[in-house]
Amino acid sequence: METLDPITIDGRMGEGGGQVLRTSLALSLCTGRPLRVQHIRAARRKGGLMRQHLACVRAAMEISSADATGVELGSKELSLTPGTVRAGDYSFAVGSAGSAALVLQTVLMPLLLAGGKSTVRIEGGTHNSWAPPFDFLELSFMPLLARMGAQVDLELERVGFYPAGGGTIVATIHPLGEAAQGPSPLVLLERGASKQHYAIIRRAHLPASVADREWEALRRVLHWELSQRRDVNHEESTGPGNAIHAVLPFEHVTEVVTSFGAKQRGAKFVANDAAKEARRYLGGKAAVGRHLADQLLLPMALLAGGEFSTLPPTRHTKTNIDVIHAFLPDRIRLDEESAAECHIEVGGRDS
């Protein structure tokens, strides 16, 4: 059996955070290439593997029977040799309020390509700053994944806000071959006709007046009507928390903008933050928002590719492209057409 040379990733590249590790893990499992990551999260104040990063590594190891070294808290270097990824039923726990979505992000593409149905249950935070919240995954990302020929059913079993965590998401990942047409290129150059926009205000163990103040601030900026307000009170939550999502559906894409409540962060500030980001997206013509652009790159590169228009890319997105190119050279082309918009073209696995 041929022994493949490992791919060495410098964790200091680009924005130097956990995304470098997660994308590297996913690509190692999908390509079968051994992986070595050095200087893990070197750009962060407290570098090395934290609990949620360890959860990602251990999840990758479990679904592929991988061998690894450096799997411990604070480790700044990791080596992993993947085995064969196996579809199946899996349960993972972050062990903190760390993001459940980021663990799913690590194992999603490997399990989609594994040739069988998988169920993944992940305990941790479901609505965290600096990570895709459940609503973004369900309303924005998963519908586009389905258009690529990949079906993933997502369930919010229990909400988990920072810092208590205690939430659970369940993903049912169907075999890629179940789609009659097979993987399809994603072409997303225009948003299409606008549908009714709305706000989802989630709260747990907080008075309804918090949601009222947030709604009023959001309504004033975006000029929305009461019919565009949707409230969800999570009495089952382990701890208190609050998030406001501005959901912006269009014919071809849905953008989800989120702002989180926190101590010493007033309701008006939380809502204005969401409204400002929503207005930035609505003020342009690009189809794909900045965070969604980052999420689309890996599945497009591993499936049938495609192209999309987006806002000027973040450093996070450019870093993700660099990591993908370490495994799949020249797979992505980014054309920054103007200060307001750019075009990204992705070659698929058969390109």
pLDDT per residue as tens digits for the range 216-249: 999 999 999 999 999 999 999 999 999 999 999 9
pLDDT at 179 over 70: no
Cα distance between residue 236 and residue 309, in whole Å = 40
pLDDT at 178 over 80: no
pLDDT at 94 over 70: yes
| Residue 205 bears catalytic tag | no
Per-residue pLDDT reduced to its tens digit, 36-53: 999 999 888 888 999 999
Catalytic hit among 223, 316, 325, 343: 316
Cα distance between residue 292 and residue 317, in whole Å = 10
pLDDT at 1 over 50: no
Per-residue pLDDT band at 2 (split at 50, 70, 90):
low
pLDDT at 100 over 50: yes
**What mean pLDDT do residues 10-32 have?**
94
pLDDT for the residue numbered 149: 93
